[in-house]
Amino acid sequence: MSTPLLKVRDLRVHFATEGTVVRAVDGVDFELRAGETLALVGESGCGKSTLARALVGLNPITSGSAELEGRTITGLTRAAMRPFRRELQLVFQDPYASLNPRFTIAQTLAEPLLLHGKANRDNVDGEVCELLGQVGLDPELRGRYPHEFSGGQRQRISIARALAVEPRLLLCDEVTSALDVSIQAQILDLLRSVQQKLGLSYLFITHDLGVVRYIADRVAVMYVGQIVELRDTESLFESPAHPYTKALLGSIPRVSSGPQAREPLRGEVPSPARPPSGCRFHPRCSLAFERCPKEQPELYPVGGGMSRCFLSQ
């Protein structure tokens, strides 16, 4: 069994604010193999974006570790992180904030190329054109400014910028959530084709389970800072193990034969500053029993993965 590309061990990211501790990421373990797409799914406050940003060093880590092919990437100084910048990149959600409004597209894309020696002053323009072609944009547009592009086009440019350094692993932080459905489909297809051509791996953060089913090999469902289910995609959708996953799948409005007769999940999504005792899902769980508020369940193996529920033990 080869070394996984990414290995995350008991990662915790806590923020101290005004007397309380927000346990945004509270003990996350998973592995990502080369060439695969792992989706990180959950609702607000589950910690998926915090986790992604912590992996690239934008959030400080409280404890735990992450390794990229056996080399630790957490707890490093800015300078020590530099070599990893070439291997690990992140694409942001908001297409209107992720490009410097005063740089032309050519300047935005040339910067990483020149910085990491992928091109020099003479051939950088050619490389920029090629990058744009890779993401399906007309190279003729490279002299333009971001405000002249649509949201979907800007996301393509952000993806191109991330690809410029030729990374091994791309973290996509809700990259299609701000886009229209038809444009979202374009971007998802682009990501898939780029992955095949360049042999990339993706950590795909999203709240949209439809997107997950389309693009992910495996899925990690997060709830209040922890992974509650980690399965291969089809197993998760065909036979969800964790009650939260079941409720989540049940809540999704489907384009189908009419309003679902399911009962929606009761209660509010808990705040990571005040997680419930024991199993964090127990206050909203219809299957909860005496053990649930008292003990925290571990991840127990189930077919195709793991589930953090005593019922799976």
Report the site for other proteins in 213-242 (rule: CB under 8 A): 213-215, 233-234, 237
DSSP letter assigned to residue 119 = -
CB of 183 to other proteins, least distance (A): 8
Residues 21-50 close enough to bind other proteins by CB under 8 A: 43-44
* Residue 116 lies near other proteins (rule: CB under 8 A): yes
Cβ 136 vs Cβ 128: under 8 Å: no
* Residue 188 lies near other proteins (rule: CB under 8 A): yes
Judged by beta carbon, residue 124 or residue 185, the one nearer other proteins is 185
What is the C-alpha separation between 229 and 305, in angstroms, rounded? 8
CB of 221 to other proteins, least distance (A): 12
* Residue 189 lies near other proteins (rule: CB under 8 A): yes
Question: Which position has the token pair 């890779």?
Answer: 134
DSSP letter assigned to residue 175 = T
The span of 4-12, 68-76, 265-273, 300-308 binding other proteins (CB under 8 A) equals 265-273
Cβ 172 vs Cβ 207: under 8 Å: no
Residues 127-186 close enough to bind other proteins by CB under 8 A: 143-145, 147-148, 150, 152-153, 158, 161, 164-165, 180-186
Residue 118, CA distances (Å) to 34, 79, 166, 268 in order: 23, 20, 9, 49
* Residue 121 lies near other proteins (rule: CB under 8 A): no
The span of 27-35, 123-131, 203-211, 294-302 binding other proteins (CB under 8 A) equals 203-211
Among candidates 187, 195, 233, 180, which has minimal Cα distance to 40? 233
CB of 264 to other proteins, least distance (A): 4
Judged by beta carbon, residue 10 or residue 138, the one nearer other proteins is 138
Judged by beta carbon, residue 251 or residue 313, the one nearer other proteins is 251
Question: In what side-by-side order are the strands of the sheet with 218-223?
Answer: 88-91, 169-173, 201-206, 37-41, 218-223, 226-232, 305-307, 300-302
